[in-house]
Amino acid sequence: MHRSLLVAAAGSKRPRTAASSLAAARRAFQSAAHVENKLRLQVKEADEEGAALHDSTISNKEYLQHSKNERPIWTALRGRALLNEPALNKGAGFTPEERDTFGLTGLLPHEVHSLDQQCKRAYSQLQERPSALAKYTFLSSLRDQNIILFYALCLRHLNELLPVIYTPTVGEAIQKYSTIWRRPDGLFLSYAHRHKMREMMMQAKRPKDVDLIIVTDSEGILGIGDQGVGGILIAQGKANLYTLGAGIDPSRILSVVLDVGTDNSALLNDPLYLGLRRKRVRGAEYDKFVDRFCELVREEYPQALLHFEDFGVSNASKILTTYRNKQSVFNDDMQGTAAVVLAALLSAVKVTKSELKDQRIVVFGFGTAGYGIADGIRNALMLEAGLSSEEVRKIFWCVDRPGLLTTEHSPTLRPGQEHFIRNASEVSSWERDAEGRISLLEVVKQAKPTILIGCSTMSGAFDEEVVREMAKHVERPIVFPLSNPTKLAEADPADINEWTNGLALMATGSPFPPVKTPRGKEHKIAEANNGLLYPGLGLGVIVSRASFLTEKMITAGVAALAKMAPALDDPDESLLPPLSDLRHVSVKVATAVANAAKEEGVSQIKRDDPFSQDEVRAAQWDPVYRPLELVDRH
């Protein structure tokens, strides 16, 4: 039976109810409401005492307290069928009344445990796993059994578990996907079955059940390159962050891998490999395949945000450019990284009491991430500061493998990079190395940048000479060594802090510990984690039912994030809010994005009044047990 006939959210016309279950269902509702009230009291008491609930890293627990979580869910499932439905299974959390009503008595141990007790037990079991990958597989299994418990556990220990359920552990899991595979999750669109694409998509999810589609072709996964069908795990990892960070209903997210083969010889020679065993489809056939997929999303899922993830360098920009004006699309590698870095930069320039348009910016490493960051800054300066394309170009110095990029490199540039190159004639007197390249150090000496951004994956590239040279010419250097993982960062923040006498404003791509300033204070390093922004962007698109994700919507989300920087109140604090505040952050970002969509006329909800934070909060899915009510399936 189709899932829509088995699960229904309260609020619509009441379905025909089994008479024998009505009294028990009401008792279950009252019992669940009692539990929720008890939880509220626990939260209130903990807050009044200035303590967190148990060992949670969540600073805001309003998701436990919303009235929407008291509405019952209707289902016709009973017995083991209910226990095997991860979206409804509560395990030991089923109340006595629910156990009687749904035929669960005898199928569960006697004691009823709260969600908090279950999280404690699951966390204890998790701690017994010997490695990050073992923890990842444990959590994946937990999600397959009980979705609410999985998300509740992760949200309680977000800082600790984010590296497990996402980067870097998911990279290891992807590489071993065909070895550790247990059960399918997501949609696998193989090039071999390209003529059945519509049918496959309809089997996976009905259009009205989808708010968000996350798709990858697995060519550029997390710095480990082409991983074939295993890329489905990166889409699922992003989906988890959308739910944890913004409260997007996991049942309304579709994770997709476009399996067009792989050029990874290790996978092609692996007898256990689960994907399409052929070299990657490229050129016109690849473009046609992607176009057909995007076309079907436009036709069948017109309200869904389409999130592109980890496409190869040669395709990422082209795909975004092609489809951003046709439907609501987002590329996290190009737009997400740029947006969160831009938020950190806006915070930094406010601390220095200057403006972004007055900066001199050096970008070291001008691949997908470096170009995306520069392009995001460019768009913001043109939209918000009114600068022309030429005026923006004069702010940037971009350094890549050939050294400083100038007009002499024009034939080798990718589309869009031409907006950031310097005229060769203006740097003709600059010193060059034996291979004719203008080095990073020479650029810093000549350009005297106020901002230095690293996306090169070259560990140690921001060495003492480079950083001290920069500090000669600016009082508060803004230095962002963004390459990750940690071992690939252009510099250690502790070294940058020392070389600038504690005056540098920093953000990194991976977590680093705080550093001590000469003033004896502890300076917290901002982590430019995309997860701080893109969940809120997605929620804003969904709440407003935006037909496009525009640059002004992204800029509105960036501005909202920048306003929450702790450094604005204390310069020794972080330039970005902590991940532990993610749900709170996402509500503010989503509200700004939704209102920008309304102002630009791309919201499909016609209204005069602005979207409110309360309205956005009410749209979030929360990992709490709602009461269940039995309905007659006939």
Phi, psi of 80 (to 5 degrees): -65, -30
Q: Is 264 annotated as a binding residue?
A: no
CA-based nearest residue to 443, from 434, 456, 433: 433
The two tokens of residue 278 are: 């052929």
* Torsion sign, CA atoms 597, 600, 601, 602: negative
SS3 509: coil
Q: Is 379 annotated as a binding residue?
A: no
Are 360 and 453 within 8 A, CB to CB?
Answer: no
DSSP letter for each residue of 201-213: HHHH--GGG-SEE
260 CB-contact burial (10 Å; exposed 0-12 / middle 13-18 / buried 19+): buried
Are 177 and 274 within 8 A, CB to CB?
Answer: yes
Distance of CA 317 to the CA centre of its chain: 19
Q: Is 249 annotated as a binding residue?
A: no
Distant-in-sequence, close-in-space partners of 242: CB < 8 Å, separation ≥ 6: 212, 214, 248, 253, 534, 535, 538, 539
Cβ count within 10 A of residue 292: 15
Cβ count within 10 A of residue 372: 25
CA-based nearest residue to 180, from 77, 272, 62, 266: 272
Beta sheet of 526-527, edge-to-edge order = 403-404, 396-400, 361-364, 451-454, 478-481, 505-508, 526-527
Q: Is 599 annotated as a binding residue?
A: no
- The residue from 166, 286, 301, 323 that is catalytic is 166
- The stretches of 365-500 forming alpha helices (DSSP H) are 368-384, 389-393, 440-447, 464-471, 493-499
Q: Is 323 in the active site? A: no
Q: Is 238 in the active site? A: yes
Beta sheet of 628-630, edge-to-edge order = 7-9, 73-75, 628-630
- The residue from 238, 552, 588, 598 that is catalytic is 238
Q: Is 529 annotated as a binding residue?
A: yes
**Can you say which residues are annotated as belonging to the binding site?**
309-310, 333, 484, 529
**Can you say which residues are annotated as belonging to the binding site for (S)-malate?**
484, 529
**Can you say which residues are annotated as belonging to the binding site for a divalent metal cation?**
309-310, 333
Q: Which residues are catalytically annotated?
A: 166, 238
